[in-house]
Structure 1
C-alpha cells in the first residue's frame, strides 16, 4: 500500500492546482551562455550535477572548487573538471548511458541560482584539462556540457530555508556523524566508525586534488 493518496496524473491537472507560469518565468530561458551568465559562473564555487542512467534512475552529485572552476569554452559549451573522489563515478557512468544533464550553480550568500541543462560528454583532452591543474595535479577527465537551456532560478527556496542565515542554522549536536552513518550503512567487518572517520580525515587532507 502506497503511503499517499490522490496522485496528479496530467499537466492540465497540475496547472489547475498550481496555475501557469507568468510571462517572465515563461520567457526567461536562453539557449546559450551569454555574458551575464559568464559573470555568474565566474563567482560560483559550487554546482549540483543531476544525471540519470539509461533506465531513468536519477542521481544528484555536488562539485566544488575555486570560484569560476566551471570553464566557459564558448557560448554553447561548458567544462567541469572531474577532481579526485571515491571512484564510484556515479555521474560519469550515467553520462555514458544517457548524456542529458542538469546543473544548479550556487554562489555563497546569493539566494538566486543559475540552472543549465544540456547534453554531456566525458573528455580526456589534456590541452583543455591542463587549464585546471591544481597542486601539480591535472584532472584525468572532465565533463563538457553542450548547453540547451540556461536561466536564473528565483530565491524563494533559499528564503524559505534561510540557508545563508547562520542564526537559523540548527544545532547539530544530536546529528549522527558522516562516519557513523557510512559505517552503519556499509556493514563491513573491520570498518567501524573510528576507521571510517580516520579514512575520511585522510582523504580530506591529502586527496582533494
Structure 2
C-alpha cells in the first residue's frame, strides 16, 4: 500500500509507473546519441537560451536560465562545449553545485521551434583566458565558463511547447496582469526601508547597464 501524504496515493515502483504510462516506442529508444553531430551543433548555433539543471552533493536541485545571442554556447568538438558565465546576481548556485556534483542537464530552446535539444553530461568550471576570450561580447570576456563533457543528447518532442502555446503571442497574458518582480522581491526579501519602487529601479538599472 502506498503511503498517504498531502499528495494522496503515490507511485513507488517503476513497475507501477509503467503499468500506467507504458513504454516508449522504438524511435524514442533509438534517438539518443552520445556526441554533438552536425544537427546538434546547428541547433546550439541557433539557440539564444538554455536551462541548466544541477544538483549538489546531497541531491538538492537547481534549474537556472542562461541566455545571450544565438550561438553563445561555444562548441569545442563533438564531445565538449562551454557555456559563458555572463554577469548575474552572484549567487552562483549552479557553479557551486558543479563543484560538488558535476552531473548536469541542459535544455536548449529556439524561439518559434517546438522541439528542444537535451544534453546530459559532466561539467567543470573553466577559467582558461584563451578559451574564454573566444566568447567575448562587447569587448568583455566572461570571467568563468561552464565546460560540459557530453554524455548523451537527443531531440525532445514539441508536445509541451504546443500544449502551452508558448510561441503564440496571441495567447500571452496582458503585461499589466503579469506578476511584478519588484513586488515579489519586496515581499520576499523584507528589506526595512526599501520600497517596491526602489527595487524596481534597481532591476531597471541592472537590466540596462549590467547585462
User: Is the TM-score greater than 0.5?
Assistant: yes
| CA deviation after TM superposition for structure 1 residue 171, in Å | 2.7
- Distance, in Å, in 1 between the alignment partners of 2:17 and 2:109 is 28
**Alignment counterpart, residue 104 of structure 2, candidates 78, 97, 101:** 101
Matching residue within 181, 187, 196 for 1:184: 187
Find the aligned partners of 2:176 and 2:199 in 1 and give their Cα distance. Answer: 20
Q: Does 1:64 align with 2:67?
A: yes
Specify the alignment match of 1:152 in structure 2: 155
CA distance in 1, matches of 2:163, 2:137: 37
1:24 aligns to 2:32 (yes or no): no
Q: Distance in 2 between matches of 1:134 and 1:141?
A: 14
**Aligned equivalent of 1:12, options 9, 12, 15:** 15
1:113-128 map, 5 Å:
113-128=116-131
Q: How does 1:27-106 map to 2 (within 5 A)?
A: 27-106=30-109
- String of CA shifts for 1:13-39, please: whole Å, max 9, x gaps: 111100001001111000110111101
TM superposition shift of 1:195: 1.1
Matches for 1:154-173 after TM superposition, within 5 Å: 154-173=157-176
Aligned twin of 1:112: 115
**Count of residue correspondences:** 208
Deviation at 1:5, TM superposition (A): 1.3
Q: 2:208 aligns with which of 191, 205, 208?
A: 205
Structure 2 unaligned blocks of 5 or more: none
State the TM-score, normalizing by the size of structure 1.
0.97
Deviates more, 1:165-174 or 1:75-84: 165-174
- Report the RMSD for the aligned CA atoms in angstroms: 1.0
Deviation at residue 189 of structure 1 after TM alignment: 1.2
What is the CA deviation profile of residues 120-162 of structure 1, one whole-angstrom value per residue up to 9, with x for unaligned ones?
A: 0001010010011112211000000000010000000001000
- Structure 1 residues without counterparts, runs of 5 or longer: none
Q: What is the CA–CA distance in structure 2 between the aligned matches of 1:26 and 1:109, rounded to whole Å?
A: 26
